[in-house]
Every structure is written in C-alpha cells, then in structure tokens.
Chains A and B, each alone.
Chain A
C-alpha cells in the first residue's frame, strides 16, 4: 500500500483483570500492544476466553483496563466515546421492540439531537444501504435474525462514526445469510472508508474479511500473532476455495498458542 498509514488506535501493555466468584484475580487480557491503522479492516480472532471481546470493550470505553492504556486519535477512549465517534454492533441486535426499524436506526440521532427531517432522511439512506428500505416501518419482531442484524448495522453507521466495532455480529446467523452480510459489510466499508474492528471466533470469516487478523490465545488472554491477509480486493466468494486463502487459514490456525482448545 503506497498511501501513508496513519495509526488510529494504539494500545500499550493493555491488561484487564477480573475477580472470579471466589474473589481471585483472573487475567482476561495481558500485555496487548496493538496498532490499528486508519481505514483498516482488522479482526480480533480467538477461542472463547481469549479476551477478544474484552479488548474491543476496552477500546470502546465499555470496560476500564486494569493496566496499560488505549489511545485513539491521540485521545482516551472515553473522550472518543463522548464525541460519539464509535459505532458498535453487538452480538445480539439490541433493537427496541417498541420502535419500528426506522425509529431504531434513528435512536442515536435522536440522542444526538438531530432534527426530525435529518433523522428520517439519514435513516432511510442507511436502511437502503443495508437493503432494508422496504422494511422501515416494520417492528423488529417481524424481521428475521439476519434482517435484525442488518438493522443493527444500519444503526451503527447512522452517526457516521470514525470507528466501527463489531462483536461477533454474525455468529448467530446461518451460513447463507452470513455470506451475504459479509459481502455487504465489505462493500459498505469500502464505500465509507471506516476503521472496522471485527471480533470473531471463525477463522474463515476473519481471513475473508480482513486486512489483518490478530490472533488471541486464552489463559491468560494475549495477542499471539498478527497475520497479514494479502488477498487482492475485491474478494469474490470463490476466493475461499483458493490455495492461498487456505494457506492463510492454516497460518492463522497455527498461530494459536496453548495447543488445542
């Protein structure tokens, strides 16, 4: 890549310690040093218990680190959060049952105090982007799981955040829906030029989507390796059949420490 790579997020010796039921300290995450570039699609990959979600939550200021720190555009995560520069897609869609899909997408804009017209226009734009325009006035319970997750993504893009954090957003979806959403997500990412941090435990998913894959290992959660995914974009689905793709999958798999999980 010839363009200059600006570092957007930087973690330094980041660690998080929880207390377990017996009051003993458990290290969820230790010594994470990571630099994430602006406009990059980066995946945090690992088995459960490796601290990938914890790392994401630290960056989003939903979790306070026990040691080390995070810098985002030269600010603390809290400052960035208060400036509403994050979009977050949770494992579950978290749509409010009493709001239509459109009203759900408008929620962050309501909180920000956008005018009614502005909210409505922007929400429709976002819904069109994720292919839910015709379902704007439906209620969440009338949508399939995949559609709910699309609405969730539309909401996260609504405020035009600099950084999009996605915590296993597709793990509850079937393969077909997942593949379609992968395609859409990459298209939207390319169009909007956001920095995306994507958490998953699915190696193929991580390799297919990302510029780089950060491999995390459990007990204690730590960053074991960063694998560059040098597959040309755009990546058609058939890329998954290629030798190079499978080599990268193997490379990622072999980067886990601590043996089989």
Chain B
C-alpha cells in the first residue's frame, strides 16, 4: 500500500518535470533564462574576485566590473566616437560585401561553369587571415587620399568586404541553385520565363541562405573591423583603443573597450535575429 503511494508520487513528480520540459512556453523562455543565469553567475564570480583567484591574476589586469562600468560612464563620448568608427567600417563592409557576394552568386548561377570557379577563388581569398590581409590593403590604399583617416577607413572596409562577400557568395549560390527536386520541371510545365523562375523560385529559395550567411558575417564583420584597426595607419576604433590602452598598461580602459566590443557584437546579432524572425516567418 505504501509502496503504491510512493510509486504514484514518483510518477507524478516525473510527469511534472517532463511536463515543464515539454512546455513550449518554457522551451521558449529557457533560451533567455539559462544564458541569463549563466551571466549572473559569471558576474558574481568576477565581482567577488573568484575569477582572479582561479586564474591567478589581480584586479589591475582584470579590473572589477564596477570599475569598468564607471570608466565607461566617464568616457562616454570617446567610447561612442570609437564605436561609431568601428561600426562604420563593419557596416559598410558588411553591406557592400554582402551585396557584391549576392551579385556574384547570381552571376555564378547564370553561368555555372565560370561561376563555381569564381566563387571558389573568392572563398580561398577569404580564408587568408585578416592579420595578413590588413597590411596588404593598407599598402594598396596609401595613395587614394591625403586624408589618413579616410584611406585607413577604406583599407579596413575592403578587408571586411572581402570576408562578407565570400560568405554571402557561397551561401547565396547554394540558395539560388539548391532547389527542391522537380521545382524546375514544375516551372517548365507552366512555360515560365527565366525571369519568372528567378523571382518566383530562386530568389525566395535563397532568402534563408542569405540569413545563414549573415549569421556568420555580422559577427565576422565586427571582428574583422576590430582586427583591421590594429594594423591601420590612423588610430581609431574600438579594437585599436584596446591595443593602445594595453600598450600603455591602462587595463581598466582597455577592458572598457573590450566590453564595448562585446556590446556591439551582441546588439548587432540581436538586430539580425529580429530581422530574421520577420523575414523568415513564412519559411518555418
């Protein structure tokens, strides 16, 4: 009799746990709650100097969060100025590069023989490390303007552009050509023109692939901008400030810029996710 009650209780408890786990509301909320809990624990460990003990470091090299926060508040204008500089490069590179990449994919889908080869070349280019590419483009762009800040910006933008173009080109090509079996036959049955096949089939088919490209290239564009700044002629940008401040052993200020870089990345990704949820609503 007692055993039965215990069994029953266990059964109910298990059911409850499963019910929570399978609840779609919980599943949705857990994608926010779990990372948040992780973040709070990390903040606690950091501020309580547990991290410092763990990594055998001190509050000079790894400043406490409130210190980083107060430096950020004190240098708001300078931070914003450098953020703008980094964002300008990464956004311009992202937009121009992605458009170029999509156009290349289009070209490749119209002329598959040349196209695939071309995309392979671009892909190979993009796999050159940024640290190797950045100085090359600095050198290339040294004569285009007398304004060091301008030619520096162009050089950085080109590096970002290349990375994003390759990513978009390869993904979009897949999206334009990776059609459902018989989809082209279906269009042929209705004697569709190439134009209609493009607008009714290939273009919409490529949209999810565009977003998978952006999921990589949005963070990559920021990362690339930051790394390119290290090598740029003109001293500006979040990445460059990290380097300058580390060189001067101003670790708190460097950390303020590192935090800024993180925030830029998180915000950019969040915006992308919102856009994706709008544009891919219909794709399921």
Contacts and interface: CB of A to CB of B under 8 A. Distances in A.
Interface string B242-284: 0000000000000000000000000000000000000000111
Interface in A187-213: none
Contacts, number: 61
A38 interface: no
Interface of A: 60-62, 81-82, 84, 86-88, 90-92, 94, 96-99, 107-108, 110-112, 139, 141-142, 159
Contact of A141 (B180, B181, B188, B284): B284
A53 B209 CA distance: 32
Contacts of B188: 61-62, 81
Scoring A82, A96, A142, A159 by chain B CB atoms within 10 A of each residue's CB, the highest score goes to A96
A169 to B, nearest CB: 12
Given A111-B187, A141-B284, 4 more contacts: A84-B189, A96-B205, A97-B283, A139-B282
28 contacts: A61-B188, A62-B185, A62-B188, A62-B189, A81-B188, A82-B191, A84-B190, A84-B191, A90-B185, A91-B182, A96-B180, A96-B201, A97-B282, A98-B204, A98-B207, A98-B282, A98-B283, A99-B282, A107-B200, A108-B190, A111-B187, A111-B191, A111-B192, A111-B200, A139-B282, A139-B284, A141-B284, A142-B284
Contacts of B204: 96, 98
B212 to A, nearest CB: 15
Given A81-B189, A142-B284, A94 B200 contact: no
B186 A94 contact: yes
A133 to B, nearest CB: 21
Contact of A94 (B182, B196, B283, B284): B182
4 A-B pairs with least C-beta separation: A90-B182, A88-B189, A94-B182, A108-B190
A164 to B, nearest CB: 11
Contacts of B181: 90, 92, 94
Given A94-B180, A111-B192, A88 B185 contact: yes
B183 interface: yes
B186 A88 contact: yes
B180 A112 contact: no
Nearest to B204: A98
Contacts of A141: 284
Q: Which of B187, B189, B207 counts the most chain A CB atoms within 10 A?
A: B189
Interface of B: 180-183, 185-192, 196, 200-201, 204-205, 207, 282-284
A84 B204 CA distance: 24
Given A92-B181, A111-B200, A60 B189 contact: yes
Nearest to B182: A90
Given A96-B201, A98-B283, A112 B185 contact: no
B211 to A, nearest CB: 13
Nearest to B191: A82
Contact of B200 (A90, A97, A110, A159): A110
Contacts of B283: 97-98
A111 B190 contact: yes
Given A81-B191, A96-B204, A90 B186 contact: yes
A94 B192 contact: no
A94 B191 contact: no
Contacts of A107: 190, 200
Contacts of B201: 96
Contacts of B282: 97-99, 139
Nearest to A103: B282
B185 to A, nearest CB: 5
B185 A111 contact: no
Nearest to A140: B284
B183 A94 contact: yes
Contacts of A61: 188
Nearest to A57: B185
Contact of B182 (A84, A87, A92, A97): A92
A141 B191 CA distance: 27
B190 A112 contact: yes
A179 B191 CA distance: 32
Contacts of A60: 189
Nearest to A141: B284
A91 B182 CA distance: 9
Nearest to A91: B182
A186 to B, nearest CB: 23
A142 B196 CA distance: 26
A142 B183 CA distance: 19
A84 B187 CA distance: 11
Contact of A92 (B180, B190, B200): B180
Nearest to B188: A62
A236 B31 CA distance: 54
A154 to B, nearest CB: 14
Listed residue (B183, B185, B186) with the most chain A CB atoms within 10 angstroms of its CB: B186
Contacts of B186: 88, 90, 94
